[in-house]
Amino acid sequence: MRERRQFYVVDKKVLPEVFLKVVEAKNLLEKDKTLTVQEVAERMGISRSSFYKYKDAILPFYEKGKGEALTMLIHLQDERGRLSDVLNCIADAGANILTINQMVPMNGIAIINLCLQTFNMKSEIEDLISQLEELEGVQEIKILARE
């Protein structure tokens, strides 16, 4: 039986320095695809083995500075392509989908729960909601949370 992973939110001030260096190394590798792990490890003053040991165990936590998180429920006609239209509208607006959950459709209506990150949006949230409401098949949109 697989052991269930547990996660903790910890202030970075109490983390060992190697963890912070691994996070920075991951950021450098993401920004500059020409760098190797060896080059980044040397630059950060850590060993390659430390990088590989911790790289998959240290995950970023969503930061409020990265834009608002918007959670909404969309009541959508259960017809082919309707969800795709909604997702394309969100992508075109520059929002990033953090989570999506669709309930089993009942009486021809699917209820979609979406959480969006708005950091890179090209327009205001209200404009996106108006665009979504105009899509064929969208019955109702309820905003559950704005964080």
Chain segment 72-98, per-residue pLDDT in tens: 999 999 999 999 999 999 999 999 999
Q: Does position 71 have pLDDT exceeding 60, yes or no?
A: yes
pTM of the shown model: 0.56
> Distance between CA atoms of 2 and 35, rounded to whole angstroms?
35
Confidence of residue 65 (pLDDT cuts 50, 70, 90): very low
Nearest alpha carbon to residue 74 among 121, 133, 118, 123: 133
Q: What is the mean predicted confidence (pLDDT) over 53-79?
A: 79
Average pLDDT, the chain: 88
Q: What is the mean predicted confidence (pLDDT) over 115-120?
A: 87
Kindly list the domain boundaries of the chain, sorted by start residue: 14-54, 65-146
Q: What is the mean predicted confidence (pLDDT) over 111-125?
A: 88
AA identity, residue 139: Q
Q: What is the DSSP letter of 123?
A: S
Q: What is the DSSP letter of 122?
A: S
Helix (H) or strand (E) segment spanning residue 129: helix 125-134
User: Which overall architecture, per CATH, does domain 65-146 show?
Assistant: 2-Layer Sandwich (3.30)
Confidence at residue 64, expressed as pLDDT on a 0 to 100 scale: 44
Q: Which two tokens stand for residue 101?
A: 């959950």
Q: Does position 126 have pLDDT exceeding 60, yes or no?
A: yes
Q: What is the mean predicted confidence (pLDDT) over 113-121?
A: 88
The answer to whether residues 78 and 105 touch, using CB atoms and an 8 Å cutoff, is yes
